[in-house]
Structure 1
């Protein structure tokens, strides 16, 4: 259920559901109402999209030396934990977003894990 909030423009009581229009001032409840949610969503989107690609390229180019490969693997694990959708629970507005970002995160990190395991098996 949607809760009732006060309209930020005129103070009239309206639903907090997205797309609700205030009958007095025509204020529309939007997706990014509030700066905190916009910042969290931007940070989460950047981490979800760029962190896996950065990790993959780092692991690929760091396989020249065993020490650089270990550092790249640790960096990839760190970025995987930082970009995990469980750290950004308050960002998702719909079930589709939650499913989409979880599936992207699982796919990219499983690809990265397979890449690391293949590099390790070729070294042995």
Structure 2
């Protein structure tokens, strides 16, 4: 697992480039619970790009066929941690926004629009 990238993955880079092209400016490496992939500090929106396998995507997440005694609890802990991180961010006044990696691959403009709408909505309400 040492070779598994936690930042700078292909879906994350595709999303960052698309956001930048549309004029949405973000920050990286925030000091927030869960280490969001990118944040919009003015709107207090934290974006996570979740991998389908690691975060249990309902469409594409699957359990490996071997070593189930390890993988079932591991993936369950990941899901529980995601819920805890979302709750902690909400308590701090941030809006967590989770984007699946397959959503980026299938419809990047829709992901950018979804983030843009959240940022605009939050920026006008703060």
Coarse TM-score class (shorter-chain normalised): 0.3 to 0.5
Structure in which a larger fraction of residues adopt helix: 1
Structure in which a larger fraction of residues adopt strand: 2
Structure ranking higher on relative contact order (CA contacts 8 Å, 6+ apart): 2
Give the TM-score of the pair, scaled to structure 1: 0.36
